[in-house]
Amino acid sequence: MMISAKRFRPTAGLCSLIALGCAGGPSAVEVPEVDPVAAGAEAIKTYDGNGDAALGPDELAKCPGMVVKLAAYDADKNGSVEQAEIAARLGELYKHSPGATQLNCAVTYRGRPLAGAEVVFEPEAYLGEEIQAARGVTDAAGVAAMGIPPEFLPEHLHRLKALHYGTFKVRVTHPTIALPARYNTATELGYETESGNPNVQFVLADKYPRLRGGSVTMPVGIVLRRVTPRRSRGLQSTLCELCEAWRRWR
């Protein structure tokens, strides 16, 4: 879950993963090296603002790609993510030594496909230097094929769009439309690779939905940056309420 990120029908030709790299040989995509344990430690170092060795709601809001897969990270369901949980999640993500995959990113704005937008998937720095940023420009249907620089792919795949597995901040800009900063310079959009799902959609809007019974507003998927859940309800139930608020608002 992200700011209205949701699945949509796969496009023909994008359902298969590119060479995983584990087979070796000249045709394989070179596998980026990610050390889950070191990455977990670096993630805590980067985002743990209060020094409690865990990432709480306010700190997680700064790492939206982790928020997208919060249920996978927060193994003990206590509303925060610890270093060991990050390492475990990344270990699962990279256990098959994936090279790259294809991803179609659809963007709508004010209820319509946003054509001509530049979309950047910026990898979290804690993953290391080998995970490359991916870029794409949306077509008339508001869809961008995300791709890393071709030099990181085998020569015969240079014309193919692909991105590395990873956790990303997503930034969307447009040459003629001033999109809200929460979608670019102060982005609240995030993505983490979901094996077998070659599509993701971001629904952009000028305003946040409002929660029932109160005047506090916040984006769906950016967990509790301005809202603190009651302990009895827990983080997951609060997220469900936010999703429902978004559906009613749309």
Q: In the chain, what are the domain boundaries?
A: 1-208
Residue 228 clears pLDDT 70, i.e. is over it: no
Least confident residue range of 85-94, 148-157, 158-167, 222-231: 222-231
Distance, CA of 37 to chain centre: 20
Cα angle: 14, vertex 87, 231; to 5 degrees: 100
Instruction: Please state the φ and ψ torsions of residue 106, each to the nearest 5 degrees.
Output: -95, 140
Span 178-227, pLDDT tens digits = 999 999 999 999 999 998 999 999 999 998 755 444 433 344 333 333 33
pLDDT of residue 28: 67
Which DSSP state fits 212?
A: T
Architecture of domain 1-208: Sandwich (2.60)
Residue-wise pLDDT for 16-62, tens only, equals 344 434 444 445 678 899 999 999 999 999 999 999 999 999 999 99
pTM attached to this predicted model: 0.77
Specify the higher pLDDT residue, 214 or 101: 101
